[in-house]
Structure 1
Amino acid sequence: MWVAEGIMQKRDTENLEETAAYDDVEELSSRNMVQVAEMTVDERIKSCRVHDLLREVAIRKAKDENFFQIHDTRDDEISAKSRYLAVHSLPWDKNYFGSSTPPLRSLLFFNVHEYGKNISLNFKSFRKLRILDLDNVKMSYNLPKGIGEVRLLRYLGLRRTSIGRLPRSFSCLRNLQTLDIRNFYPVKVSNFIWKLESLRHLYAYKMECDVPLMIEGLRNLRTLSRIRFDDIMHNNMITLTSLRKLGIWVDDRSDIDKLCVHLSEVGSLKTLHLYFTRGGPQSLAGLSKLHHVTELKLSGRLRMLPPDFPPNLCRLSLKRTSLKDDPMPVLEKLGQLSFLKLEVPDWGPQYMVISRQGFHQLKFLVLNDAYCLKEIEVEKGALPQLRCLRIKQCYGLEKLPEELKHISSLDALELVDIREDFISRLDAEMVSRVPNLRIFDLPRERLWYLL
């Protein structure tokens, strides 16, 4: 959104505007202008908030300047001068903005999903609009064709709406940078995406195409998320010269090796996410061809690990897998791996062993939802650079590995939603040696910090 507003610029030739935006969030945090609500295990800001007093001051100042307005009661009058409007509550009258054309640049809806009627917007009245976020808004089944009149639109959020089709007039949105259609229900799309030459981020969850999707030539496209395998395989992927993140739905018929041959020529690609359905593909051997990929995510009913991984892999996430054997003997040999997240909820291994000198570059290890896991053994000399270990909802785990107390680099141990009897049996020496032991109890929203 910040990039679409035009307030972010490249700081240098290497960093993207989105990277600069994140850097600014970190700076705001360091100045206590925003509060960090949640951090990732590798200490990146995942969510943040503004203190209520600072928020009130900002709202009052913005209102005085006719800059920003929050519409949060049904009796509020919407200013005809505000450039930014956040709608928290809708009046019963459908004519929300009167007959005049407001000078709105951004229009955002929050928490209006309980409104009893379909929202109807006259898009011809919003020709200066750059940001439109309809998250969770109930609208008519098809997005009105008048959306094509909003030629300056750069960001369109349609998450969790009831929209079932995007009109052909959508192809007129040549300035659109972000299209988010992560929806509960399928959204039908005609073959016009290739015309959106400014498009940077396409979140395509539940997107269905009338004809094979054409995306060739989208040289600004950086994120393509949750696209179906069959929708992209006929495209020449090498034309996507800016593509950095790609997420694809695959099944047992998908030729992943052929896909990897295509992707091996996309030098900008850094992150690949494969979502498995129907048990996953027959082969994942082609992953070894992806020399440019440094982050790999595999989600779904994966029963066996790939025979090879991208050779320069630094980050690996295995989510909701069905691995029955201990994956550590394979994963600990990935020489450049610094981040590993494992999620094995169904009939996973009961024992995991990390051998001597295993994971010699790993800094962050996350074990999630390993319900069957009873014991983790860490041999002497393993995990020499581990900085943070997070264990979440591993209800069968009986104890922590003894060797953890001898890993001098270990700075943080996080236990999330773990049985109380497990916590009561924690080794006192281990607790004293780890600088930051954090215990989160999610169901009762309690948090202890043992320092």
Structure 2
Amino acid sequence: MWVAEGIMQKRDAESLEETAAYDDVERLCRRNMVQVAEMTIDERIKSCRVHDLLRDVAIRKAEDENFFQIHDTRDDKISAKSRYLAVHTLPRDKNYFGSSTPPLRSLLFFNIRRYGEDISLSFKSFRKLRIVDLENVEMGYDLPEGIGEFRLLRYLGLRRTSIERLPHSFGFLRNLQTLDIRNINRVIVSNFIWKLESLRHLYANDIMSNVPLKIEGLRNLQTLSRIHFDHIMHNDMTTLTSLQKLGIWVDGTSEIDKLCTHLSVVGSLKTLHLYCLEQPQSLAGLSKLHHVTALKLFGKGLRTLPPDFPPNLSRLSLKETRLGADPMPVLEKLGQLSFLKMKDAYERQQHMGISGNGFHQLKFLELRYLRVDEIKVEEGALPQLRCLRIRECYRLEKLPEELKHISSLDKLELVDMPKDFIRRLDADMVSSVPNLRIF
């Protein structure tokens, strides 16, 4: 959103505006103007919030300047002067934006939820809009063709809106940078994506199209999430010169080896997510992806690990897979791996084991909702481990005693673990870890 507003600039030739925006969030947190609400295991800000007193001061100042308004009553008319408007309650009066043309640049909806009527956006009156966020507005209709009138629109958030189809007029939104259509249901999209020449981020859960979507030529595209295998294979990926993060749906007929050959030419690609509802015929070929450093494997269709991995892989996430055998003997041999996250990744087994030479570069390990009774760690394993987070592993009886011998371990986080597990914590182990956090 900050990038779409035009308030972020590149700090140097290589960094992106999005990188600068994250740096500013960190700077605000260090100055205590913004509070960190949740951190990732590798200590990046995942979510944040503003103290209520600071929020009140900011709102009063913004309203004095006719800069920003929050509308949270059904009786008042919405101001026609503010450039930024957050709507918490839709007024009774259908003409709630007034008769004059508002100078709105950003329009954000919060907590509206179910609303079966047309929100009555007069498209010709809102031609200056840069940002529209309709997240969680469960509209009972699809966007009209008039959305194409928002020619200056840079950010459109339709997450959890129940919208099922995007109109053809989307092809006119040549300034659109971010499109978020992460709905529970599939979203039907006609073949206009290639026209959105400014597009940087396309977020979706499932895009459906009668023909393979043309995406080649989008030289600004950085993020493309959850697109189907066939769509990818029908495009010349060498034209996506900025693509860094890609998520792909694969099924039982998908040929991963051909996919990896197809993607190996995308030198900018750093992160790959594969979503598997069925077990692919083969998972071989990942070793061709020399540029990929982060890999996520998701889905109940994945019952075995790939026979190979990207050679420079440093981050791996396994989520909701159905691995039948202990994955640790394979994963512990990945020489560059520094971050490993496993959530509901392993069919119920009695134990999981890490050998004495295992994970010699791993620094961050998160185990969540694993159905294991015991985790065995041999002495000498995990020599670089800095943070261990164990979350919702309800069958786990105790921590491995060998953890007390890992001198690099600085932080141990136990989240939503059973009370009996907490009671059985070894006093020596607790004292050996500088930072123990129990949530």
Question: Shared fold (TM-score greater than 0.5)?
Answer: yes
Maintained 8 Å contact 2:75/2:92: no
- The aligned residue for residue 338 of structure 2 is 338
Counterpart of 1:339, as a letter, is F
| Distance in 1 separating the partners of 2:79 and 2:141 | 29
Q: Secondary structure in 2 aligned to 1:377? A: strand
- The aligned residue for residue 387 of structure 1 is 386
Q: Secondary structure in 1 aligned to 2:61? A: helix
Deviations 1:265-292 (A, max 9, x none): 00000000001012x2111111010000
- The aligned residue for residue 222 of structure 1 is 222
| Distance in 2 separating the partners of 1:182 and 1:431 | 42
TM-score for both structures, normalised by structure 1: 0.95
Following TM superposition, by how much is the alpha carbon of 1:334 offset from its aligned partner in structure 2, in angstroms?
0.4
- The aligned residue for residue 113 of structure 1 is 113
| Distance in 1 separating the partners of 2:252 and 2:267 | 27
Q: Are residue 240 (structure 1) and residue 240 (structure 2) matched?
A: yes
Aligned residues: CA RMSD: 1.2
Following TM superposition, by how much is the alpha carbon of 1:212 offset from its aligned partner in structure 2, in angstroms?
1.6
- The aligned residue for residue 288 of structure 1 is 287
Paired residues in the alignment total 438
- The aligned residue for residue 350 of structure 2 is 350
Following TM superposition, by how much is the alpha carbon of 1:345 offset from its aligned partner in structure 2, in angstroms?
5.5
Following TM superposition, by how much is the alpha carbon of 1:349 offset from its aligned partner in structure 2, in angstroms?
3.0
- What pairs up with 1:43-82 in 2 under 5 angstroms? 43-82=43-82
Maintained 8 Å contact 1:323/1:344: no
- The aligned residue for residue 20 of structure 1 is 20
Following TM superposition, by how much is the alpha carbon of 1:356 offset from its aligned partner in structure 2, in angstroms?
1.1
Q: Are residue 376 (structure 1) and residue 383 (structure 2) matched?
A: no
Counterpart of 2:284, as a letter, is A
Counterpart of 2:395, as a letter, is G
Following TM superposition, by how much is the alpha carbon of 1:188 offset from its aligned partner in structure 2, in angstroms?
1.4
- The aligned residue for residue 149 of structure 2 is 149
The list of structure 1 runs, each at least 4 consecutive aligned residues, that deviate by more than 4 angstroms after superposition, is: none
Maintained 8 Å contact 1:323/1:349: no
- The aligned residue for residue 135 of structure 2 is 135
- The aligned residue for residue 297 of structure 2 is 298
TM-score for both structures, normalised by structure 2: 0.98
Maintained 8 Å contact 1:132/1:156: yes
Counterpart of 2:229, as a letter, is F
Counterpart of 1:47, as a letter, is S
Q: Is 24-33 or 347-356 further displaced after alignment?
A: 347-356
- The aligned residue for residue 310 of structure 1 is 310
CA gap of 1:23–1:213, structure 2 versus 1, over 3 A, is same
Counterpart of 2:380, as a letter, is G
Maintained 8 Å contact 2:223/2:245: yes
| Distance in 2 separating the partners of 1:329 and 1:206 | 34
Following TM superposition, by how much is the alpha carbon of 1:379 offset from its aligned partner in structure 2, in angstroms?
1.0
Counterpart of 1:407, as a letter, is I
Following TM superposition, by how much is the alpha carbon of 1:121 offset from its aligned partner in structure 2, in angstroms?
1.4
Percent of residue pairs bearing the same amino acid type:
79
Counterpart of 1:38, as a letter, is E
| Distance in 1 separating the partners of 2:256 and 2:435 | 42
Maintained 8 Å contact 1:337/1:362: yes
Q: Is 395-404 or 344-353 further displaced after alignment?
A: 344-353
- The aligned residue for residue 443 of structure 1 is none
Q: Are residue 397 (structure 1) and residue 379 (structure 2) matched?
A: no
- The aligned residue for residue 448 of structure 1 is none
Maintained 8 Å contact 1:119/1:140: no
Following TM superposition, by how much is the alpha carbon of 1:118 offset from its aligned partner in structure 2, in angstroms?
3.8
Deviations 1:87-137 (A, max 9, x none): 000012222212211000000000001446342311111100000001111
| Distance in 2 separating the partners of 1:429 and 1:79 | 62
- The aligned residue for residue 126 of structure 2 is 126
Following TM superposition, by how much is the alpha carbon of 1:225 offset from its aligned partner in structure 2, in angstroms?
0.4
Long gaps (5+) in structure 1: 441-451
Deviations 1:397-441 (A, max 9, x none): 11111110011110111111111111101000011110111111x
Deviations 1:197-234 (A, max 9, x none): 00000012232113220001000000000111122211
| Distance in 2 separating the partners of 1:375 and 1:152 | 56
Counterpart of 1:391, as a letter, is I
Maintained 8 Å contact 2:115/2:140: no
